[in-house]
Amino acid sequence: MNPTPSVLARMRAVLAASPVIAVVRAPRIPDAVALCAALAEGGINLTEFTYTTPDVTDHLQRAAREGWRVGVGTVLTAEQAERALAVGASFLVTPGLRPEVAERAHAARMPVVLGALTPTEVLQATELGAAAVKIFPARAFGPGYFKDLRGPYPDVPLVASGGVNAGNAGEFLAQGAAAVCAGTDVVAPDVVAAGDWAEITRRAKAFTEACGARG
């Protein structure tokens, strides 16, 4: 099953409006709703919880019920995809090419962001129906690599993930990334686990202002 044009268009519109995704990897999330609210206060409206976090589907469900746009990352299996979609995931993210995850997302008419690094893998991700392609780890080749990839793939939304921070996020966007992932620079595991929402908001503001991507 292939994704419908509306699914692809929906995800691309979301990234155009909100080009920063907070990727949360923490040993504990005391309040997923408060976390999403703190990020939004700082200008980050997309949150990706990950399967490396304990009880991730519980956190996702609570945030989704309150209307936050949340997805799940590090999705490796069809079973994980189904669990995430069942509790309200708005999108799925994989670290690599996972055809079975893409199939589950297409069946549910939800966008999937597939991980890739090389030009060949980017092509394979688009053939699998990725609404966007996550280039991971982005630090491996730097912002200029996105400009290079835009040559053969001008219409593929590329997401920079891994090693992106307030100091380089703007350059990734300037060189062709459709969106960037904010990890420990914003949602440091210890800060999330402590429930320091004011600090999360401060970091989110600093990140989005530095890269000129508020909203």
Residue type (1 letter), 93 = V
Instruction: Choose the catalytic residue: 41, 48, 121, 199.
Output: 48
CA atoms within 13 A on the CB side of 79: 0
The CA distances from residue 140 to 135, 152, 177, in Å, are: 10, 20, 15
Among 32, 7, 12, smallest CA distance to 22 is for 32
Q: How far apart are CA 107 and CA 115, in angstroms?
A: 19
94 φ, ψ (degrees, to nearest 5) = -115, 155
Q: Does residue 48 carry a catalytic annotation?
A: yes
Instruction: Choose the catalytic residue: 103, 127, 134, 199.
Output: 134
> Can you list the alpha helix ranges (DSSP code H) found in the chain?
5-17, 32-41, 56-65, 78-86, 99-107, 119-127, 144-150, 169-174, 189-194, 197-211
Computed over its alpha carbons, how large is the radius of gyration of the chain? 16
181 neighbors 19 (Cβ within 8 angstroms): no
Q: Does residue 205 carry a catalytic annotation?
A: no
Length of the chain: 215
- Catalytic residues, which ones? 48, 134
